[in-house]
Amino acid sequence: MKTSISYIFVIATLMVTTGCQQQLSEAGSNNEDSLVISWPQDIGLLDPHGYGENQMFAQNLVYESLVQHDEEGDIKPHLAESWEISDDGKTYTFFLREDVQFSDGSEFNAENAKKNFDAVIEAPEDHAWLELANQINRTEVIDSFTFEITLEDTYYPLLEELALVRPFRFLGEAGFNEDQQFKEPIGTGPWVLHEYRKDEEAVFHRNDHYWGEKPEMEELVVRVIPDGDARVMAFENGEIDMIYGSGLISLDAFDHLQNNENYETGTSPPQANRVMALNSNRGVTEDHLVRQALIHAFDAHSFIEDMLYETEEHATSLFPDDAPYQPDDLDPYEYDPLKAESLLEEAGWERRDDHEIREKDGQPLQLTFVFDANDEIQTILAEYMQSELRALGVDIVLSGVDNQSYLDAQKTGDFDIIYHETWGAQYDPHAMLSSMRVPSHADYQAQRGLADKDELDEKISQVLVETDEQQREEQYDDIIRTLHDEAIYVPISSPSTTGMYHNDIEGVRYSPIPYEFSLEHIRR
């Protein structure tokens, strides 16, 4: 019996040690021509038209779009050199660059553009969220490098939506299988997927066929590290060169790294806004005065300084100041506790001498704040809000739930205050406003109590198909101003992409678009 047990041990030990023969690539700070970053999830299959596990930043490394946003957020040519729009605004003719090759050396042309567009519009269920996918009526090859799109109606955000990371990007012919579905990643972008081990690492190489400015580094390694603290350890240990993205590490860790002279840090321009939405359709926050008081009671500057270590910019309205169509003369709600107090008094919420919490008709001033308890920033925000408002005699009940339950609360409107974010540079304001008309969104629920909600929705529907630029600007101004005056949102801050890297690294740039990582200029 003893010998058989020993055998089992020996065999098991052999199994265990031989199981790990796979060697991770020798990339790291010791390889001059390689940049190692990390990401919490696996990059996915890298299907340019796919969602789910496909990580947007990785899709953006490999695939390109017809047009792109420049640093100011304006549309500029990319794979399309220029375009013409018909008088009725329904036909777009794109003149493609003639020097573009896929990473396998094949040519990018109008045929390929049509094939990719058709692949997207032939799967309407997958892309229904994007209005453009529903609007495209017909695609046509005019000649080798001229490609035409005809729309159902005039749809002004067309170019904006073509610039998105997905789905309107281009997969090479050899990347499709027999059923014309995605087979393997072949793109025209600056990087090519060279090696891939699911949930371990993905190694990208410079695309030698790239038409634009080629990346400085030969190799880009993306290591999958799910835990933020483990990521910081690996970074300090020199196993990864750079932490790049939003919310990848805790703010304490960020503070710790920022104060270390061996590392450099930087941030992108603001990309979206964090806000709190106040429910105009429920309880105490039905009262406009109370909502105004809550906005005046929140000290965003101190929150950003003390809790976010000044990693984010202060937001003054629902959308970031540089978002298209954002009015620049909105009266900001300054932090003013005295004013907040007098507004609450005016609304009838009085503080009795012996009571800490304000009351009206015997009811205490109590609000439920719903947030995702797994999100560190949401949690500290809720706690901060609770302690701030306590001083004003407002009792905030914290309802920290898991992400799915948080989404549920958004849908049902079961909240007084809820944490919320705008959708980011390419979607604000048009896509975000569009969603405000849909009952499953926190915005709809929060705005539902407004007397003119129906009218507001009607205005949003109009602005999305308005063709006259002047008119459109006025309509947007009106909508955004109404939301601001109705005090539905408490603006907090604008998150951005943060970069932390060892100081032998140079050329780090930041895009105003989340998930568009500019890693091409990095060198050592």
Partner 1 sequence: MVALITRRILMLFPSLLFLSMFVFLLMHMIPGDPAQAYLTLSQIPPTDEAIAAARGELGLDLPLYEQYWNWLISALQLDFGTSFLTGERVLEEVLYYFPSTLQLSLAAFLFTITISVLIGIFSARYQQRLFDTFSRLFSVGGSAIPTFWLGFLLVYFFSYQLGWLPSGGRGGWTSLVLPMLTLSIPYIALFSRLLRTSLLEVSKASYVTYSRARGLREPSIFRRHILRHALLPLLTVSGVALGYLLAGTVIVESVFSWPGMGRYMVTAITNRDYPVIQFYIVFMAFIFLIVNMIVDLLQLWVDPRLRSKEGSPNV
Task: List interacting residues with partner 1 (CB under 8 A).
Answer: 1, 9, 12-13, 15-17, 19-24, 41, 44, 51-54, 56, 125, 128-129, 197-201, 223-227, 229-230, 233-234, 236-237, 239, 374, 402-405, 407-408, 411, 423, 427, 431, 435, 438-441
Q: Compare residues 298 and 423 and give the one whose CB is closer to partner 1.
A: 423
Q: Provide the CB-side half-sphere exposure for 133 (13 A, CA).
A: 20
CA distance 231 to 222: 12
Helix 251-258 and helix 228-236, axial crossing angle in degrees, nearest 10:
10
Cβ contact 277:417 at 8 Å: yes
Q: What is the DSSP annotation of 364-432?
A: E-EEEEEEETT-HHHHHHHHHHHHHHHTTT-EEEEEEE-HHHHHHHHHHT--SEEEEE---TTTTTHHH
To partner 1, the closest distance from the beta carbon of 338 in angstroms equals 40
Of 189 and 228, which has the nearer Cβ to partner 1?
A: 228
Q: Is 304 or 436 the residue whose CB approaches partner 1 more closely?
A: 436
Largest CA distance in the chain: 90
Output the smallest distance, CB 481 to partner 1, in A. 24
| Complex with partner 1: residue 339 or 411, whichever CB lies closer | 411
198 or 352: whose CB is closer to partner 1?
A: 198
* Nearer CB in complex with partner 1: 121/389: 121
* CB 143, min distance to partner 1, A: 35
Please identify, using beta-carbon distances, which residue of 25 and 93 lies nearer to partner 1.
25
Task: Please report how close the Cβ of residue 373 comes to partner 1 at its closest, in angstroms.
Answer: 12
Cα distance between residue 427 and residue 430, in whole Å = 6
Q: How far is the CB of 353 from partner 1 (least distance, A)?
A: 42
Cis peptide before 185 (omega within 30 of 0): no
> 110: which 2 tokens?
């109008």
Strand extents, DSSP E, 161-235: 191-197, 201-206, 219-224
Strand, coil or helix: 325: coil
Cα dihedral 135, 138, 139, 143 sign: negative
CB of 71 to partner 1, least distance (A): 22
**C-alpha 504, offset from chain centre:** 29
Which is nearer to partner 1, 215 or 320 (by Cβ)? 320
To the nearest whole angstrom, how small is the minimum distance from the Cβ of residue 222 to partner 1? 12
Contacts of 511 (CB under 8 A, 6+ apart): 69, 71, 268, 497, 517, 518
Smallest distance, Å, CB 363 to partner 1? 28
